[in-house]
Amino acid sequence: MTAQGGARDIVLEARGLVKRFGAFEAVRGVDFAIARGECFGFLGPNGAGKTSTMRMISAVSRPTEGSLTIFGLDPRTHGPAIRGRIGVVPQDDSLELELSVRLNIEIYGRYFDLPRRVLRERADELLEFARLTERANSKVDDLSGGMKRRLTIARALVNRPDLLILDEPTTGLDPQARHLLWERLYRLKREGVTLIITTHYMDEAEQLCDRLVVMDNGTIVAEGAPRELIERHSSREVIELRFGTDTPEQIRVALATHAERVEVLPDRVLLYVEDGDVALRAVHGSGLTPVSSLVRRSSLEDVFLRLTGRTLVD
Amino acid sequence: MSSVEPTLGWARWRRSWWYHAVFYAQTWRGSVVSSVLFPVFYLASLGIGVGHLVAHHHGLVEGQTYLRYIAPSLLATTTFQLGEGESLWPVLASVKWIRVYHAAAATPLEPRDILYGKLSWVVTRSFLTGVVYTAIIAAFGAVESWWGLTLPFIGALITLAFAAPLTAYAARVESDASFTMIYRFAFVPMFLFSATFYPISAYPGFLRPVVQLVPLYHGVALVRAAAFGQGSVLVQLTHVAVLGAIALAGVAWGRVTLRRRLVD
Ligand SMILES: Nc1ncnc2c1ncn2[C@@H]1O[C@H](COP(=O)(O)OP(=O)(O)OP(=O)(O)O)[C@@H](O)[C@H]1O
Ligand SMILES: [Mg+2]
């Protein structure tokens, strides 16, 4: 271990990564390095280039430009070897709908050349993990959306990956299934598995990610630990106010005197302040009458809004 | 390097073959029954019905009763249908709608492994179908030569000559809009006009070279020659060469289109 740089065991490194589809540039030169055992997040609005980036770092899609190293290998020349050590949860489930839940796992495991006996054991274990044991012989077509998602996640673990790449893994999961997945991801992390995750859920990113990047329009607009990003890009607290149907401009102007920053969203106004209670009293004192008000701590949601001008909830 | 895969690249496609085999084993229900009953009905109806008319007018077709004359071409048309049937919609579904090929591409498989696995399965299935059909054709008394043992191989070649280019094509389109057109304006005429139901000599001289441009014609000519042990070996090798060239070109094209679809 050296004092600077190189101290961490780097699993994946991207430099100036570009992905173009015809003339359209989906990823416009991004740089990042991910250490072993780290949970690294990608946040960004729809179309930011997250999936395009995930597909490149899964050693599937070829970068148009830039350099990429995974496990110290070049995916252009060592694609199969690299992919053999990666688990991928794609954004769309891409399951074989006509086949049973169990066969979906076994077939996928065969792609990694796992022997039948091992496959059967792992399938049992993963079915248990995904809470699909009872549905093992059901056709995937008959499963609910959340069950399909759980199966896709289970399938990605069949090769016991060193690096797990999850593109919006919890979209469509109920809260219980989501927390179960978090718990399982913590466990994998403790075992030294590196996790890369994209998500639209800020609480998820804050809970899981050691570090994350915010992507917008194919570029990285911020990078850091969740708390760090919040401190850097937002105030300590936030007041959420609702004013009936719409928020007239004069209210906005009036509010601006009470906060470091004001964001007017279609359904509410956000005031960025150091001390929420103090500021809220001041708002009420100045004669404004919001229908409802709420004081909370700043979150990644606010960072996101600040950096991209968009909210994450679609 | 310990991290490099133990299995050699050339063997990887077998994992994809296995997927298709399992898929078929799970979903074939009914298709086997129909694939035995269909040829029997087909031979019974055309062979006996039209055969009756033929016998009435001319007697024999190239020295055969009509039933025996058309029996081998059944193998050609069936393996052709198997090739096209496994290609257009199923491939587009795999790369676009349900995206199972994308899932496979995230594993050690390369796009070409996915292609080879698929085609080798279709060829396997065609060969097995060919064995059954050869037995049925023989039961109708239409296999007269030891060359008849090559019929399942010829069937497999016919299947590949259609499956390979059509898979390549389906891997590159964005919708199935063109597929119906291909059926109507390529497959149906091909089925009807490849000298399937009568000798090519039934066409006027100027049309024969046109028929010879149709890929299925070469398949029909081959199975007939093999079943009856007729015709020069050189001519048969030409038919094999035509089908083989189409198959190889299809595979080469498929490597390009599937790669583009899955990794670009
Ligand atoms: N195969 C493709 N061909 C052409 N354009 C593409 C392709 N894949 C992605 N794009 C475009 O690239 C941009 C980035 O897409 P990408 O899927 O990476 O975004 P994302 O950040 O994952 O969005 P979301 O949150 O909606 O999943 C989009 O404008 C998309 O239309
Ligand atoms: Mg995406």
Q: What is the pLDDT of residues B212-226, one digit of tens each?
A: 889 999 999 999 999
pLDDT score at A291: 87
Mutate to test the interface with A, among B1, B2, B5 (most CBs of A within 10 A): B5
pLDDT score at B165: 98
Ordered by start, the domain boundaries in chain A are 4-225, 235-297
Between the CA of A217 and the centroid of ligand 1 the distance, in Å, is 10
Q: Could you tell me if B31 lies within 8 Å of chain A, comparing CB atoms?
A: no
A10-21 β-sheet, strand order: A24-35, A10-21, A65-70
pLDDT score at A180: 87
Task: Report the gap between the CA of A117 and the closest CA in chain B (Å).
Answer: 16
pLDDT score at B8: 58
Element (H, E) at A29: strand A24-35
pLDDT score at A37: 95
Q: ipTM strictly over 0.95?
A: no
- Closest CA in chain B for residue A105: B19
**Are A218 and A28 contacting, i.e. CB atoms less than 8 angstroms apart?**
yes
Q: Which fold has domain A235-297?
A: Alpha-Beta Plaits (3.30.70)
Specify the CATH number for A4-225; select among 1.10.3720.10, 3.40.50.300, 3.40.50.2300, 1.10.150.120: 3.40.50.300
List per-block mean pLDDT (blocks of 10 residues) for chain A, which spans 314 residues: 56 97 96 96 93 97 97 95 97 95 97 95 95 96 94 96 96 88 91 94 90 95 94 92 74 81 86 90 85 91 86 59
Of B31 and B113, the one with more pLDDT: B113
Q: Can you read off the two tokens belonging to residue A281?
A: 């009293």
**Are B159 and B83 contacting, i.e. CB atoms less than 8 angstroms apart?**
yes
**Are A12 and A33 contacting, i.e. CB atoms less than 8 angstroms apart?**
yes
d(C-alpha B141, C-alpha B225), whole Å? 15
**Are A158 and A105 contacting, i.e. CB atoms less than 8 angstroms apart?**
yes
Mutate to test the interface with B, among A64, A71, A113 (most CBs of B within 10 A): A113
Between the CA of A221 and the centroid of ligand 2 the distance, in Å, is 17
CB contact under 8 A, B98 and A111: no
d(C-alpha A133, C-alpha A140), whole Å? 13
Report the amino acid identity of residue A284.
H
Question: Using CB atoms, which residue from A61, A80, A113 is nearest to B264?
Answer: A61
CB contact under 8 A, A99 and B26: yes
Q: Could you tell me if B108 lies within 8 Å of chain A, comparing CB atoms?
A: yes
Q: Can you read off the two tokens belonging to residue A78?
A: 């060592």
- Taking only Cα atoms into account, the Rg of chain B, rounded to an integer number of angstroms, comes to 20
The label of the residue with tokens 């570029």 reads A219
Q: Could you tell me if B28 lies within 8 Å of chain A, comparing CB atoms?
A: no
Instruction: Note the pLDDT tens digit of each residue in B49-67.
Output: 888 888 777 677 887 888 8
- Mutating to test ligand 1, I would choose from A50, A58, A91 the residue with most ligand atoms within 8 A of its C-beta, which is A50
- Mutating to test ligand 1, I would choose from A17, A52, A312 the residue with most ligand atoms within 8 A of its C-beta, which is A52
CB contact under 8 A, A81 and B4: yes
d(C-alpha A11, C-alpha A295), whole Å? 40
What secondary structure does DSSP assign to B61-88, as a single string? BTTB-HHHHHHHHHHHHHHHHHHHHTTH
- Closest CA in chain B for residue A84: B108
**Residue B105 phi, psi (nearest 5):** -70, -15
Element (H, E) at B123: helix B111-139
Using an 8 Å CB-CB cutoff, list chain A residues near B21. Answer: none
Distance between alpha carbon A62 and the CA centroid of its chain, in Å?
A: 22
Sequence-separated contacts (24+) of B146-150 with Cβ below 8 Å: B146/B229, B147/B225, B147/B226, B147/B227, B147/B229, B148/B226, B148/B227, B148/B229, B150/B226
HSE-up (13 A, CA, CB side) for residue A168: 15
CB contact under 8 A, B3 and A81: yes
pTM score: 0.91
**Are B254 and B168 contacting, i.e. CB atoms less than 8 angstroms apart?**
yes
Give, using CA atoms, the residue closest to atom 7 of ligand 1: A21
pLDDT score at A2: 38
A86-89 β-sheet, strand order: A86-89, A163-167, A194-198, A39-43, A211-216, A219-224
Q: Can you read off the two tokens belonging to residue A245?
A: 């149907």
pLDDT score at A260: 87
Pocket of ligand 1 (CB under 6 A): A 21, 24, 26, 44, 46-52, 91
pLDDT score at A4: 44
| Interval B94-99 mean pLDDT | 95
Q: Can you read off the two tokens belonging to residue B105?
A: 């591409």
d(C-alpha A111, C-alpha A106), whole Å? 9
CB contact under 8 A, B264 and A96: no
Taking 50 as the threshold, does the pLDDT of residue B91 lie above it? yes
- Closest CA in chain B for residue A76: B263
Task: Report the gap between the CA of B96 and the closest CA in chain A (Å).
Answer: 10
Nearest atom (ligand 1) to Cα of A19: 12
Using an 8 Å CB-CB cutoff, list chain A residues near B16. Answer: 111
Distance between alpha carbon A127 and the CA centroid of its chain, in Å?
A: 24
Between the CA of A303 and the centroid of ligand 2 the distance, in Å, is 20
At residue B3 the predicted structure's pLDDT band, cuts being 50, 70 and 90, is: very low
CB atoms within 10 A of CB A187: 10
